[in-house]
Structure 1
């Protein structure tokens, strides 16, 4: 497929008219058999919380840089290289929106990609909706970004909190416990995750009761007070949503105070190397988690990714690496299918587009713009002084989504 010229100016004005002229020149050269001049790059604006959460976002950056190198080495998209202009949002929604505005207004990017925190993803999604530009949300997990606050311009890669909560609830329902406590950071991601898990588990096990909720501020957990309050409630099981430095503090304080002894723990994201590696031998054993067992994934697509990643970086990938790689591959697939950088064409192309990522082939659903990327579920263990996942299985994201008809009804 070759890029098509624009019949009319699109909603982003004169900049797109110039882009249309470039497509016409390239197309005419191809038709005439004459060698085309070096094509102008397709510009992608990328935003993420690099300084706020480097444990995840630095591997994420390495992932999209690897994919970008592969895409451009293979000729780009219809002969046009992709150029990424990246900005750091410092973990602040206002900074993310400012960055998005600069990327669109000053840099003239053709689409946006990235973000980590859910509240930042929602802010950029709202900006994309207002400015009518495609946004591929790589990491934000809140359901709202594709459902309650979904819009025509936003597509999301990672499995949402309700998808991963559903995977964990299936395992939690098998446990011989009824009294549950929860601990989660007090912002969009944490509140959405707890709500999703409680709903999913209560449907599977109507006999469960919820005896305590702890809502520490993100990045500022008072682990001693949190653990003490949870112990006082005397739950039989705990659902944990903390991550990063908060998770480390919670694990250490909970271990010291015996909170986890004789209790089941189900924990979202804890099996990701970004969060287990810093714990090392302190990794609690036997927790039911979602994560990424990079050294035991038996998928041909992952084997190829792993080989390329280790050859380039001499290191093993983290989940952020997979997300960054898959996000960039998604952008390229959408561009190739659209045959244009016109926003309306990109949106139509993204609906139902299939993308090969390290976890196999995924699809971005037309009804709610959610990808079918899945996640790994297993238990934590310690081997050679390092936290690992064992008893692992991959759960296809498509199995944890409502039907497209039901999903469409969830959107505004």
Structure 2
């Protein structure tokens, strides 16, 4: 989907840009290339695109960026890194976008980040959670909005360390995000409680979990607690099989992402109770900023926002703040504006900053427990964990991230 001028007008505009002095080129819209797994992950990315357009329309209604409208050219990578890279090249070379944004799956985000580095283009990654994006494979051109696997695992470990459980099992999708989450949870929990043991690991293929076999393998190890990283349809199948087979009885469960309405809502009255989760308590979060965001979203789309809605809205907010700070769309100027950039979040909590040292934002997450209310899953006893409190020191980051 392209939110842009008609094709003939776009071609004429491109020709005028080449022929006219730079001052006249600045009068055209600022184009953003947005690449995401829309068809592969619709539960998260349909609300994401809704909120993206809402944010863009609000910016343009208020006068744009110094009078220039922002426009977005959307591309669907289908969850395939090779398609994401192909779209990135087309967006940069044919659509003449000023920057790239988006990304959902971690392996896709890493592929776009590598493209950005090789082609010297700014990439504002919204969703990919792998730590490699800003650390081991971080580069000058890539910035990431959402709290990473390290950050969210650190938040969960604070609560997991309070549990009496010593014997743990883990289950996670078998790709970069799942592997990274399990690695950090094990390392951080072991630091907090050196006497813990990890007695079983299950890494089912993403989107193809054999939930019965997975549950049987976990139960066979007789853990006292489980760390779960599955999401989407895999999570639904895991919960149903685990509940049917008694896996969760008298066992604690700590679960990454499960409190997000994208994944909690589909469970309905099958939603588990008492799981420690990261998520988004959209209904009870009544800060001034979030109340305004929630009501605007509901009026426009006749449904409540999901976490994907927040991620998109905040990504646009960050890009807009950067463009106003940079004063132009030159890549070097935009990168310099991103380093240390602060902007408001739809959560209505403290302003978020993109750290200069590793290009990771300080956006936080909500930690709470799952419960059933009126036949559906909700988050209760939740708190906001500010991302800046769950990041390693600059000295540690320098050992994790290459120069640049």
TM over 0.5, shorter chain? yes
Residues 362-381 of structure 1 mapped to structure 2, 5 A cutoff: 362-381=352-371
Partner of 1:24: 23
* SS of the residue 1:181 aligns to: strand
Specify whether residues 83 and 298 from structure 1 end up closer, same or farther in structure 2 by C-alpha distance, changes over 3 A only. Answer: same
Specify whether residues 235 and 96 from structure 1 end up closer, same or farther in structure 2 by C-alpha distance, changes over 3 A only. Answer: same
Give yes or no for contact 1:264–1:287 (8 Å, CA) kept in 2.
yes
Offset at 1:310? 1.2
Partner of residue 301 from structure 2, selected from 297, 313, 318: 313
Partner of 1:395: 385
Offset at 1:201? 0.7
C-alpha RMSD over aligned residues: 1.6
* Structure 1 alignment gaps of length 5 or more: 1-14, 28-38
* Structure 2 alignment gaps of length 5 or more: 1-13
Q: For the residues of structure 2 that align with 1:352 and 1:20, how far apart are their CA atoms?
A: 36
- How many aligned positions are there? 387
Offset at 1:21? 5.8
User: TM-score, length-normalised on structure 1?
Assistant: 0.92
Offset at 1:405? 3.9
Give yes or no for contact 2:17–2:24 (8 Å, CA) kept in 1.
no
Give yes or no for contact 1:367–1:405 (8 Å, CA) kept in 2.
no
**Deviations for 1:146-173, whole angstroms, at most 9, x for unmatched residues?**
0000000000000000000000000000
Residue 254 in structure 1 maps to residue 253 in structure 2: no
Offset at 1:410? 1.6
Offset at 1:298? 3.1
* SS of the residue 2:72 aligns to: strand
Specify whether residues 21 and 155 from structure 1 end up closer, same or farther in structure 2 by C-alpha distance, changes over 3 A only. Answer: farther
Residues 7-406 of structure 1 mapped to structure 2, 5 A cutoff: 18=17, 24-25=23-24, 39-359=27-347, 360=349, 361-406=351-396
Partner of 1:35: none
User: TM-score, length-normalised on structure 2?
Assistant: 0.93
Offset at 1:26? 8.1
* SS of the residue 1:85 aligns to: strand
Greater displacement, 228-237 / 303-312: 303-312
Partner of 2:401: 411
